[in-house]
Amino acid sequence: MWSKWFGKKKIVTASTEPDQGPLTQLNVVVLSDLGMIRTNNEDLGLFVRNASEEIIRRKGYLLVVADGMGGHQAGEVASRIAAETVSGEYFHTGINDIPKSMEKAFRVANEKIFSMASSDAACRGMGTTCTAVAIVGGQVFFGHAGDSRAYHIRSGQVTQVTQDHTYVQELVSLGEITAEEASRHPKRNILTNAMGTKPSLRVDTGLDPLDFGFDDRILLCSDGLYDYIGDHELGEILQGHTLQDAAEKMVAEAKRRGGHDNITVVIAEKINPSGLVTTRETRDIEIPLTIGAPQTKETELP
């Protein structure tokens, strides 16, 4: 079973974690791969854990996937600026409202990328998708621009949280083609909205947060994954494997089926405080984000 969540929004007040008691802890896996055709990786995946417990209680943890585009290494530059700026601005802004904080972070990142693309000939035409998920206690919020995706998986049901900003998605919304036809359409990769390509940016935010339980999982991915693996199959893989095994299986299967693009996945689940979960797949690294980040990175902000 799968469904789409985007468009099901209402304005609510964002909650934070209780001031007392243990913090929500996560298992997170980040995996990024060149694929079978590309010679450089323009994707970037991040898991960001702020070093301040007080900030974690207010803003939670952040997952980010960015898929850059542009000649030479411009796509890599765009995705790195997006991930670094969104992460830094989200946690360090004084805005406590989660959707507003996410939107501001995206707009600042857009301005930085557009400014560099306009002033540096080597970066002209660069841009990037960017999908970010904030996990705050038992709630999930998102910010989104482009066609990378966020999914919520519960009891085998896969819900696409974000809506693709693409030409074919507009056709689907108008009822001119079906979702199945869109997945095979020759123009399915034409973006109608992306970070850094214009002075202004459309930012989709999760004004109505999703509940996030101990048996749930969150998946962020670039189009290099979902172009080859459908929602139902993603749900089956996530239900039947550990996070690490699921990530590796997804990437391997996408490559086996063609791997025309870079492939990036970020998967998260809550750690059960009962102690039933005995292994942790994240590795906290207490270093600031840098432009020269490796393809797979899990970072703790100061």
Check which CATH number belongs to the domain holding 217 and give it: 3.60.40.10
Return mean pLDDT, the chain: 86
85 assigned to some structural domain: yes
Chain position carrying tokens 């996070």: 243
Note whether residue 20 is domain-resident: no
Q: Classify residue 16: in a domain, yes or no.
A: no
Q: Which is more confidently placed, 20 or 84?
A: 84
Which domain, by its residues, includes 171?
2-8+25-301
**Looking at the domain assignment, is residue 15 inside a domain?**
no
How many other C-beta atoms can be found within 10 angstroms of the C-beta atom of residue 24? 19
- Indicate whether 62 belongs to any domain: yes
Q: Token pair for residue 180?
A: 């199945």
**Beta-bridge partner residues of 297:** 46
Decide if 19 is inside a domain.
Answer: no
- Which contiguous run of DSSP H or E holds residue 43? strand 43-50
What pTM does this model have? 0.85
pLDDT tens column, 181-209? 998 899 998 999 999 999 999 999 966 89
* CA–CA separation, 173 and 237 (whole Å): 29
Q: Where are the beta strands (DSSP E) in 34-138?
A: 43-50, 61-69, 127-128, 130-136
Q: Are 142 and 205 contacting, i.e. CB atoms less than 8 angstroms apart?
A: yes
Is there a domain that residue 180 lies in? yes
Q: Which amino acid is at 115?
A: S
pLDDT tens figures, 108-165: 999 999 999 999 999 999 999 999 999 999 999 999 999 999 999 998 899 999 999 9
Q: What's the structural domain count of the chain? A: 1
Query: Cβ contacts of residue 65 below 8 Å, gap of 6+?
Result: 43, 44, 45, 46, 129, 130, 131, 132, 148, 220, 221, 222, 264, 265, 266
Which is higher by pLDDT, 17 or 180? 180
Q: Under a CB-based contact definition with an 8 Å cutoff, are residues 164 and 191 in contact?
A: no
Does residue 14 sit within a domain? Answer: no
